[in-house]
Structure 1
Amino acid sequence: MPAFRVAIIGGGSIADTNHIPALKACSDQVEIVAVCSRDQTKARALADKHAIPHAFADADAMYRACQPNLVVICTPNKFHYPYTRQALSWGCHVFCEKPPALTAQEARDMAELATEKGLVLGYNFQLRQTPEWQLLMRCKAEGRLGAIYHIKANFLRRRGIPGWGYFTNREMQGGGALMDLGVHVLDLALMAFDYELPDRVVGNTYDFIGKAGGKGLKGAWNPDTFEVEDAGMAYLSFPNKASIMLSATFALNNQVDVDRNLEVFGSQGGVQLFPFVLHTEVAGELADITFPYLDEVDIQLKNTVAFLDACAGKPSTICTGEQGARLMTVIDAIYASAQGGTGL
């Protein structure tokens, strides 16, 4: 019998195309017992599509009837916090979509409750599972980079404001490009610094293109209801004088349609992450070393396995509740700085 009885909360495309297929690939460990959505029809349709036996619009009713011990949360950002607290209170491990929450205080509260209950809380930052990132971590561990002192972390879209869903709704999402895209590369950059927190944060956000309206590569959007940033930039400085430059945009007047990358600079070597290039010296000469034979992997499946490993008490690369709280502390500080505050 599988060790985990899994319930899915949220009936949208992330559950449909990412989480449910990955969980089904782990059928030796997992049985998906229910789907819950605020829209009963949506929950039933998703359950039927994937041959999941039960569908609910009320989460408490689902817990009583199906007794899951692991919950995957795929809702809009606003509901990460209440559904995570509810699941933890019912004694379930929680695998939550990114970003962790709307605020650092919510993320901290979730992490503390998971610790109090002796349960695992993890977040779905799949870029940790790319072969390129795993290789970077090995290069770091082997000393090939020396002391890392600066990182450029970009997730830029030229015209990629989503024309559907809640992505431009501040109440539901908490923010725009930083919350949806920037958190992915910020997670990696903070990992490279062992998830230490910066002591200075300067951030700016913009909405020029979002407020102007138009049609982009992800459909048209309504400028009258555009409430979030279409671009967010930040400079993070750490106590040891290391630094991160973070840029995240839904829309930016640049050349390429999408630029998602990290550039990592160390005292002995540097790395461009995608595609992976190691900038170093060999036999006294400058060298750029490429790795053309890295495996192609299903990063959602690998991240799901990493979460299941954590739940089973095994070593894991999953983003933890504590890391999620630290990440949201930085995001809060960027928004505070952009609004004229002092950040951290």
Structure 2
Amino acid sequence: MCAQPIGIGFIGTGGISRAHAKAYQQFPELAKIVAVCDVDAARAEQAREEFGASFACTDMAELLARPEVQAVSVTTPTALHAPAAIAALEAGKHVLCEKPMAASAAQAKAMVKAAEQSGKTLMIAMKWRFRPETLAARQAVVDGKLGDIYFARAIGWQHKGVPARPSFTRKELAGGGGMMDNGIYNLDTVLHILGHPRPLAVSAQVGAWIGPRGSKNWQVEDFTVEDFGACFVRLEGGCALFFAHSWHVNLPEDWGIGVTGTTGGLAFDIVMAKPLKILHGEYDDIQDITPDPMPEGNKTLGDFAYEIREFLTALHEGRPSPVPGDPFYYSNVIFDAAFESARQGREVTIEW
């Protein structure tokens, strides 16, 4: 429980840190940004001034040693998420970590273990968890409106969506490419709606078809991640999941999520603004049961502000993490299995 505003530190001050900072600044009664860290000293100093912090450094250990820092936002490239989050947790700080959770399942599990051992909160910054569509869809599943669920899909077809910066396109920094970077939105959302069943096996086609062709926006030698991934995932309980994402496909843009069961189904597309529709009933009597009004969720506050408020409120009230690392790390298990399946050219079984 916290009576005073929580002191916030930033590890990494790249683009996404601005969204976090603006959100924290909306809740001065809950938090105050006090310190920032970035390997680039000039960028750290710029963020210190912009965020209203009193301290900036280039060494993460310096920031974590400061007692006024009670919680941190980890907004580094993905490959650095786990080292930063684990160090922060071990230093007794609460952690809000940007998505994707980590570069591998092993790293993600280590983050979960560090949170458990420290007793501190680890929240993954997955803003779609709080969308009205996600909340209503999850509730329909909890209420049994879809019956026995046997198939789900989570598609992310982008058009000209390559983020042409090395922190996204070099594997040693990003961990993975389009499938991980933006695919995590739809993948985590559908897994959450389903109640996070464990993935049991994955068969995947993963690779880079667009990046190596080059563009005026990036250098070919800087493109070492996948730009496309398509996966058939067998989930615990008998549900099959088709998950696919690409930064660029020559198809209409599509971010559709769909779930179907024996007595109902649902579908929506957040990016393309296709509203949620929930159907329920038997073959001869299917009814539209989409809630009206929808849950409020983050509709009024917006994605980042709502997410940050949830994090801060959980800390102030001593509540569990709104988006805990376990079972969020299942997404990394699927990513790892997809890469391995593509390498072997066959379905791979996941050992638990």
Query: How many equivalent pairs are there?
Result: 337
Percent identical across equivalent pairs?
26
SS in 2 for 1:196: coil
SS in 1 for 2:167: coil
Aligned to 1:79: 80
Q: CA–CA distance in 2 between the matches of 1:104 and 1:170?
A: 15
User: What letter corresponds to residue 302 of structure 1 in structure 2?
Assistant: Y
Per the TM alignment, residue 167 of structure 1 is displaced from its structure 2 partner at its CA by 1.2
1:264 aligns with 2:255: no
Per the TM alignment, residue 144 of structure 1 is displaced from its structure 2 partner at its CA by 2.1
User: What letter corresponds to residue 258 of structure 2 in structure 1?
Assistant: E
Per the TM alignment, residue 105 of structure 1 is displaced from its structure 2 partner at its CA by 0.8
Aligned to 1:2: 4
Per the TM alignment, residue 317 of structure 1 is displaced from its structure 2 partner at its CA by 6.9
Conserved in 1, the CA contact under 8 Å of 2:141 and 2:194? no
Q: CA–CA distance in 1 between the matches of 2:149 and 2:320?
A: 23
Deviations 1:309-335 (A, max 9, x none): 333455567321212332211211111
Per the TM alignment, residue 65 of structure 1 is displaced from its structure 2 partner at its CA by 3.8
Aligned to 2:132: 131
Root-mean-square deviation (CA, aligned residues, Å) is 2.2
TM-score (norm 1): 0.91
Q: CA–CA distance in 2 between the matches of 1:100 and 1:283?
A: 40
Per the TM alignment, residue 202 of structure 1 is displaced from its structure 2 partner at its CA by 0.8
Query: Which of 229, 240, 256 in structure 2 is aligned with 1:243?
Result: 240
SS in 2 for 1:160: coil
1:207 aligns with 2:202: no
Change (3 A) 1:330 1:12: same
TM-score (norm 2): 0.89
Q: CA–CA distance in 1 between the matches of 2:163 and 2:5?
A: 38
Any stretches of 5+ residues in structure 2 without a counterpart?
270-274
Deviations 1:113-141 (A, max 9, x none): 11011111111111001011111122222
Query: Which of 243, 247, 252 in structure 1 is aligned with 2:249?
Result: 252
Conserved in 2, the CA contact under 8 Å of 1:334 and 1:343? no
Conserved in 2, the CA contact under 8 Å of 1:276 and 1:291? no
Conserved in 2, the CA contact under 8 Å of 1:168 and 1:228? yes
User: What letter corresponds to residue 262 of structure 1 in structure 2?
Assistant: I
Q: CA–CA distance in 1 between the matches of 2:106 and 2:175?
A: 13
Per the TM alignment, residue 3 of structure 1 is displaced from its structure 2 partner at its CA by 4.3
Q: CA–CA distance in 1 between the matches of 2:283 and 2:110?
A: 52
Q: CA–CA distance in 2 between the matches of 1:42 and 1:158?
A: 31
Q: CA–CA distance in 2 between the matches of 1:43 and 1:52?
A: 10
1:13 aligns with 2:10: no
Aligned to 1:331: 335
Any stretches of 5+ residues in structure 1 without a counterpart?
none
Change (3 A) 1:336 1:313: farther
Q: CA–CA distance in 1 between the matches of 2:215 and 2:225?
A: 16
Deviations 1:77-129 (A, max 9, x none): 12111111211121001110111111111111111111011111111111001
Q: CA–CA distance in 1 between the matches of 2:283 and 2:197?
A: 34
Q: CA–CA distance in 2 between the matches of 1:55 and 1:343?
A: 46
1:277 aligns with 2:277: yes
